[in-house]
Structure 1
Amino acid sequence: MSDVAAWIAVDWGSSNLRAWALDADNNVIAQAGSPRGMLGLAPDEFEGTLLELIDGWLPESAEAPLPVLICGMAGARQGWVEAAYLPLNDGTDNVLDRLGSRLTPVTTQDSRLQVQIVPGLCQHGAPNGGNAFDVMRGEETQLIGLIAERPGFSGAVCLPGTHSKWARLGNGRIASFDTFMSGELYKLLRYDSVLKHSLRGDDLSDEAQRGAFLAGIDTVLAAPERLSAELFGIRARDLLDTQLTQDETRGAWLGARLSGLVLGLELAGATASLPTDSQIVLIGADALCQRYRIALEHLGFTVGLEANEEMILTGLGHIRHAAATP
């Protein structure tokens, strides 16, 4: 790497690790990734795993250790070092601005590293709706990135994932948020339930599969109390519906319906209080965001997309600047 890194940004998730070397102007000069997420590591393995990824970016001596700012699951209780959740307050100040003052330092054996972890957010009762108890870790950084790009933003933000987050922002402040376990629920149903015998991966670029996906959303929105019955109906259709084509095509159609049923249940809760002409901003992996976009536009919402990586890097840069500001 010819350019000199001024700091390193890290997004450490449950399943994956991503790192970027940035110069003094926050331009990316190198990047790397690894499948070694938090779930596969013991606390004493984090430093070595990080060094495997970024060793070539570090200075030769420890006279000026390189700052490393980490967001995500490295700060979980089962992670490297626990970074306590920062609670939402009564709205008298902006909790997102306070993250920079609550970074958790990590003691490392390699003196070339100066590691800090961004805290997550928690809420105990949501004054504007939402779960009474909820937490997020990693998404707060993406929300900071969004606000840095759209100062004073008000509206709904969805961050799709294994545990999807829906945040409500007002004038650049986070008011409340909800977590929906839709991704994990889909995985359990897809791979660990009786439905696994009937399902294949879907492709929403296929007109028939897209139709099955949207029909699943409409079905659960019309009668969410029948979700469990509709889920078993997938298995029954596989056994009895002679109009479905065979093998892979049938399994993909049924897989698309399952995806629609599960996502529809999330949207029934997440969008219940939103006017249908509302704009919803999506931040996350491209393929998953496109799935959410198809569903939300089908329901009449206007959807905006923000690049996942850009929001992470902008958010970490904002937090780093806030931490350095007296």
Structure 2
Amino acid sequence: MSDAIRERLAWVAVDWGSSQLRVWGLDESGEVLVRGGSDKGMLTLRPEDYEIALLEVVGDWLPASGRVGVWVCGMAGARQGWREAAYLPVPTRLDDLAQGAVMPTVSDTRLDVLLLPGLCQFADVTGCDFDVMRGEETQLAGLVAREPGFSGLVCLPGTHAKWAWLERGEVKRFATYLTGELYGLLAGQSVLRHSVADDGLTEPGCREAFVAAVREASARPGEFARLLFGLRAADLLDASLPAGEARQTRLGARLSGLAIGLELSGVRHDLSASSVTLVGGEALCERYALALEALGHASRRVEGEAAVLAGLGLARAGT
């Protein structure tokens, strides 16, 4: 690390997930000076391990004296994390996240660490269910930082996909779908593991298989379990499918389409003529955009890393 970068370093942004730690060093204008990370996510750490894991990444970035603000979102603020940052109940303004931040005890006097809270939702007569998010709220805050007063429907695809309804910069309600984890379990641990392989929708016929499955599951969610077993039967009986690995990737595309189509059936009453905003990585957002297009809905994408950094910057500005 050069002295010039150390001199420009104004604050550190951290996204601490269950399995990964991602860290950025930024200057006062928000420009990223340096990136780092490790595989020391929340699942591998005890509370006393967090400062050590953080210093392994940022120790060389820090100046010899003075304090550097470290803003952290994600699982470090979970009950099993560094220190619990209690959930804020919705409705919640996304420019108020800093009000729920907590400071863990640190030994290194150069660190000034704040852990952001997640959001929670209680079941009520309007039809909302109990739900929680931790980390995604910061990406939503980043969207609001980029587009103050944003209103609309936002989807954050992932292992546990989140759908959030925002009104003038406030989260009104949200819903979590276990789609990514469901796909992983079915592809890796069910009878379908003999028939499907992961795919990028790049092989011939895979996009078409994905789109068809999205439409089927969305239109007939009650038949989801039957459609799933149909994948195994097709592998055994359908002579029109290609042979070998191409056969498995085609069926993997169909499995992905069924899972995402089932998810979209759950939000179909909220999908309207307005565009859905997708926040996250390119590959998964492109898959959701294709699924939405198959059902006649437009979408646009906000890059996930940019949203995290903008959300942490908004929280920093709010203190």
Q: Aligning the two structures, in what range does the TM-score lie when normalised by the shorter sequence?
A: over 0.9
Normalising by structure 2, we get a TM-score of 0.95
The percent of aligned pairs where both chains have the same amino acid is 50
**Aligned counterparts of 2:209 and 2:124: Cα–Cα separation in 1:** 35
CA deviation digits over 1:10-38, x for unaligned, max 9?
A: 01111211111111222211111222221
What aligned pairs does 1:25-64 form with structure 2 within 5 A after superposition?
A: 25-61=29-65, 64=66
In the alignment, is the contact (CA less than 8 A) between 1:26 and 1:317 conserved in 2?
A: yes
1:319 aligns to 2:315 (yes or no): yes
Residue number in structure 2 paired with 1:142: 139
The 5 A counterparts of 1:183-262 are: 183-262=180-259
* Contact 2:142-2:306 at 8 Å conserved across structures: yes
Conserved 8 A contact 1:9-1:70: yes
**How far off is 1:153 after superposition?**
1.5
Quote how far apart the aligned CAs of 1:97 are. 2.5
* 1:77-156 correspondence runs (5 A): 77-89=79-91, 94-125=92-123, 131-156=128-153
- Which residue number corresponds to residue 157 of structure 1? 154
Q: Identify the match of residue 65 of structure 1 among 45, 64, 67.
A: 67
2:26 aligned partner: 22
TM-score calculated relative to the size of structure 1: 0.93
- 2:295 corresponds to which residue? 299
Whether the aligned pair in 2 keeps the contact of 1:127 and 1:176 (CA below 8 Å) is no
Rounded to whole Å, the distance in 1 between the matches of 2:283 and 2:126 is 30
Q: Which moved more, 1:107-116 or 1:39-48?
A: 39-48
CA distance in 2, matches of 1:302, 1:112: 47
Counterpart-to-counterpart distance in 1, 2:167 and 2:302: 18
The answer on whether the counterparts of 1:126 and 1:176 sit within 8 Å (CA) in structure 2 is no
Measured against aligned partners, the alpha-carbon deviations of 1:94-143 in whole angstroms (never above 9, x if no partner) come to 532321122110101222211110000111136765x4211111111111
- Go from structure 1 to structure 2 and tell me whether the alpha carbon gap of 1:165 and 1:289 turns closer, same or farther (over 3 Å shift): same
Cα distance in 1 for residues equivalent to 2:227 and 2:188: 17
In the alignment of these two chains, the number of paired residues is 315
- Check whether the contact 2:163–2:174 (CA below 8 A) recurs between aligned residues: yes
Q: Deviations over 1:175-220 (max 9, x none)?
A: 1100001011111111111111111121213340011111111111
Structure 2 match to 1:169: 166
Distance (whole Å) between structure 2 residues aligned to residue 203 and residue 134 of structure 1: 30
TM-superposed deviation, 1:67: 1.0
Separation of aligned partners in 2, 1:274 and 1:254: 27
Distance 2:318 2:124 in 1: 26
Task: Indicate if the aligned counterparts of 1:7 and 1:23 stay in contact, CA closer than 8 A.
Answer: yes
Alignment RMSD, CA only?
A: 1.4
Amino acid across the alignment from 2:27: D
Distance 2:305 2:173 in 1: 23
Partners of 2:155 and 2:138 in 1: CA distance = 14
Q: Gapped runs of 5+ residues in structure 1?
A: none
Letter in 1 for 2:98: G
**Which stretch has the larger CA shift, 174-183 or 20-29?**
20-29
Residue aligning to 1:269: 266
Contact 1:128/1:175, CA 8 A, preserved across alignment? no
Aligned mates of 1:126, 1:173 — CA distance in 2: 18
Aligned letter for 1:40?
T
Q: Residues 214 and 294 of structure 2 are in contact (CA less than 8 Å); yes or no, is this contact kept in structure 1?
A: no
Contact preservation (8 Å) 2:203, 2:249: no
Q: Write the letter of the residue equivalent to 1:44.
A: E
Q: Deviations over 1:137-168 (max 9, x none)?
A: 11111111101111221110000111110001
What are structure 2's unaligned runs of at least 5 residues?
Answer: none
